Amino acid sequence: MSSGFRAFWNSPVGPKTTHFWGPISNSSLFISGVIDTQKPPELISGNMTGALCVASVLLMRFAWMVRPRNHMLLACHAANETVQLYQLSRWANYHGYLGQKKEEGS
């Protein structure tokens, strides 16, 4: 085993810790959000998307404040925040909060 890999393996944010596996599992939120961008906006839940936006912001702060600082988790939640804000804008636009409401069948 190389010394660089061994250092990563045994580090406080390496694969033996939740600092590693937390971001890996949280990446599924981002992946599902990206997949959902292909769905029609009428299927978006404004309440759930808003809750995911708030949760991602709070968890970004947690990832920044925890020691050792978890940059991987911060990046996962920042990516999720981006995709959820996009989804929220699609929802708001569809329901007329950002301009003209889309007529069904148009």
Co-location of 56 and 31 in the same domain: yes
Looking at every residue in the chain, the average pLDDT score rounds to: 89
Query: What is the reported pTM?
Result: 0.79
Radius of gyration of the chain (CA): 18
Co-location of 8 and 26 in the same domain: yes
- pLDDT, position 56: 96
pLDDT band at 104 (very low <50, low <70, confident <90, very high): low
94 and 102 Cβ atoms separated by less than 8 Å: yes
Domain ranges, residue 74: 69-101
Co-location of 50 and 11 in the same domain: yes
Half-sphere exposure (Cβ direction) of 38: Cα atoms closer than 13 Å: 4
- pLDDT, position 76: 94
Whether the bond into 68 is cis, omega within 30 of 0: yes
Q: Is residue 106 part of a domain?
A: no
Co-location of 42 and 6 in the same domain: yes
- pLDDT, position 8: 82
The per-residue pLDDT for range 5-44, each reduced to its tens digit, is 888 888 887 888 887 888 888 899 999 999 999 999 999 9
Co-location of 17 and 60 in the same domain: yes
Confidence check: pLDDT of 55 > 60: yes
Co-location of 44 and 83 in the same domain: no
